[in-house]
Amino acid sequence: MGENNFIYEVSDFSLENDELMLNETLFHNANGYLGVRSNFEEGYPIDFQSIRGEYINGFYDFVEMKQAENLCGLTEEKQTMLNVADTQGIRLSLDDEEFSMFTGTVLQSSRTLDMEKGITLRRVVWRSPKGKEVEITIIRMASFVLLPLFTIEYRVKALNFSGTLHFHSTHIGSVLNYCDPSDPRVANETFQHLLAGKAEFVDNASVISSHTSKSALHVTSAVKNLLSKPAKEERIKRDSTAIQKFTVETEADETVTLTKYTVLCDSIRYSDCRAAALEHLEKAVSSPLADWYSLQEQYLRKYWESCAVHVKGDDELSNAITYNLYQLIQSVGKDPHSNIAAKGLSGEGYEGHYFWDTEMYIQPYFLLTQPQIAKNLIEYRYTTLDAARENAQILGHKSGALFPWRTIMGKECSGYFPSGSAQYHINGDIAYSVINYFLLTKDIEFIARCGAEIVFETARLWMDVGNISGGKFLINSVTGPDEYTCLVNNNYFTNVLAQHNLNWAVKFYRLLEEKKLLTPVKEKIGLTKSEITDFRRAAEIMYLPYEEEMDINPQDDSFLSKKLWDLKKTPQKDFPLLLHYHPLYLYRHQVCKQADTVPAHFVLEDAQPLSTMKHSFNYYERVTTHDSSLSTCIFSIMASRLGMPEKAYDYFGKSSELDLFNTHKNTKDGIHTANMGGTYMAIVYGFGGLRIKEDGLHLAPALPEQWTEYDFKIHDEDSLIQVLVKKQSCEITLLNGTEKTVFLYGRSYLLKDRLQLPLEDWGKS
């Protein structure tokens, strides 16, 4: 990155295939509805691999998932996000010489992501084999204002010649998804999911309407090309491919620009996606591209005003933080029809599925900075609540709802149930997100309409999956966040989230009753007062594993009895362990893929004393591989909470730089959105010590010694609050809205304008 915190640039980048695939991810364009990988417009050599894709959030097809044994309730069909079109193609020829980065001489080359303008820029100075020199500047944008719109502005400046330029712009409807049989995180077979119709031209725009093979969804891609000067034009249709060719004369030092508008519309959002695509395309081309650039910049200016995190003292980390927060707004769905996938809209890793990542790693960021987006994410879960009820029945439960471990449209996509469907904690995670939304917004009407029903139905599920034995409420045969330890009894994380879920089902019942808002949801789901009594009782006697001598919370009933895995003696080539050891071998050892009990102590810290959290942290640190990208940010947060500044900063650095430095070696398949949200949490919840509690916002700021200061902004109901942490003091400023009670280091203050307090020791409160 350059000195500008909002610019990420790579100059004279490598043309090695692996590096190109990584940059396809790092420089992708997205807006939460559509995403386009950053492929070369002209393509690569034929023997190069590429994940050339354009995606729509929530658009999917069904895929058969064969099971070795047809046991009751196993998932036999999943959803997968689709590559919906290829509208990136633009080939350029200088007279009879075709431009390619792999022929002639590349004199200069760079790629730039401008996170204030919301564009990517590719600049190449190229000398052809015959000596013609040309400067090519390509600007791409996925509009945040008109979500179906993606644009490519392709500028060509002849430097040392006059001659003929040939532009060859393609629109391809028949496309495939990427396939890699060796990697369980991406699709392992190729299939024609999207059946493309014939290409047509409508008012000089190419239009291709396609439908999925099984899910009965439709999508239309519409493309219009505009050249900056009169040219000879040729239009060609070949089945599901449309080609527009432009031939134009140019003089030395003259710039000729081809502007390519793409609109993608799907049948999930539009009753007639072809008509919608043509309507949006007409709207797009009716205004100069400069106007769309200006609207994009205005959108991001407003975004950064409330969402930016400023860090002084470590420019590299500061730049990485900004990059991560930009990717989150690019990735998150902006309507109740979609969510945020594990890889956003940057690639096909995990097939576009939504996980618990949303609620526990990403929604906390949007809740504090963009509450409406957090609300949309809960709305999406509400739209899939009936599917969650059906999923519970498939797994044998007589009542309640069980949200799927991984999904797009609400049905379970996890084929390996021990580390998938058995992760019942996703119910507690989703309930937790609803509760936190209420605590921060006090939006009781939304709780009455959507949130309470989710919390009641997830609470019902716990009553059916758990049982009382020996005076304790037990939850057996589940899997916690750690996927190296599966199908255990009384996973601490699961049990404490279930307890929280049950307690708040009781609280919401009473609150809605008091506000006279209970009747609609109560009658809709047939909720009885005796159920509320049962919820309360189960929460009171919930079994939370505890080992007194060690003063830790065991991860589950059997974890401490297993053989310890010696991570120090494990060769680096054997990581991640899931790719080198059989699951059963992993399950029989004390070894964790990621944080499990530790995040439980973060999200529900009042369930245990500080000493137990500290001893647990030290214990699990020894046996955690951090093979999951979700892990180091949580360890950073808890290290901050426990007064371990060096560890907190070390874990934070590993988290924040994961994608830009490709530390997990799989960023080519897409960014790690949950880790990006976790990076934000490591600052705000970790160094800032933020917790959302019933009595208000709690803060316990600390300053890493590597920084001179940092600041962030958070929403609390109608108020926007800035937190500025310096070497000796912390300033809390009410930027707008009504006065609020805030807690600093455990003490209550009324924030009317600005508070300034000295910093206290790490982890003291």
Q: Which residues are catalytic?
A: 483
* Region at 154 (left for phi over 0; alpha for psi -120 to 50; beta for the rest): beta
Residue entry with tokens 């917004």:
441
Among residues 519, 410, 529, 389, the alpha carbon closest in space to that of 464 is found at 389
User: Can you tell me the distance from the alpha carbon of 482 to that of 715, in angstroms, rounded to the nearest whole number?
Assistant: 32
User: Can you tell me the distance from the alpha carbon of 679 to that of 635, in angstroms, rounded to the nearest whole number?
Assistant: 11
CB 371 within 8 A of CB 715: yes
One-letter amino acid for residue 63 of the chain: V
Give the dihedral of Cα atoms 521, 523, 528, 529; nearest 10 deg. 70
720 beta partners: 715, 736
The residues, any chain, with a CB within 8 Å of residue 86's CB and separated by 6 or more, are 52, 54, 170, 171, 172, 175
Q: Spell 358-390 as b/e; 16+ CB within 10 A means b.
A: bbbbbbbbbbbbbbebbbbbbbbbbebbebbbb
3-state helix, strand, coil in the chain (%, to 5): 35, 25, 40
CA distances (Å), 57 to each of 54, 179, 484, 504, in order? Answer: 10, 19, 30, 32
CB 648 within 8 A of CB 679: no
Provide the 8-state DSSP code for 362: I
What are the tokens at 525? 């789901």
The residues, any chain, with a CB within 8 Å of residue 540's CB and separated by 6 or more, are none
Phi and psi for 263 in degrees, rounded to 5?
-125, 135
One-letter amino acid for residue 573 of the chain: K
Provide the 8-state DSSP code for 565: P
- Per DSSP, the three-state class of 301 is helix
The residues, any chain, with a CB within 8 Å of residue 437's CB and separated by 6 or more, are 367, 371, 374, 375, 378, 443, 446, 451
93 beta partners: 98, 166
